[in-house]
Amino acid sequence: MTDKRLHQEDYILNSIKSALSTYKSDYSIGSNEQEEMLLSDSLAAVIQPKGQGKKN
């Protein structure tokens, strides 16, 4: 990954999506007494492109 790409939020997000695309999002990774925990419900990503923080 080039240094320039570290500034591109879309590139970072698409890289994560691509890496996870080989997994079934509805795959059960565990359960409690009441319900199963799906892979898609167990992941979160925080993206901070290199450089100063974004202000919206």
How many independent structural domains does the chain possess?
1
Determine, yes or no, domain membership for 56: no
Determine, yes or no, domain membership for 19: yes
What the block records as the tokens of 56 is 């919206």
Determine, yes or no, domain membership for 17: yes
pLDDT in tens, 11-48: 888 888 898 888 888 889 888 888 898 888 888 888 87
Domain span at residue 16 reads: 3-42
> How far, in Å, CA of 52 to CA of 14, rounded?
21
Determine, yes or no, domain membership for 33: yes
Determine, yes or no, domain membership for 25: yes
Determine, yes or no, domain membership for 49: no
Q: Which residues pair with 38 in a beta bridge?
A: 28
- pTM for this predicted structure: 0.58
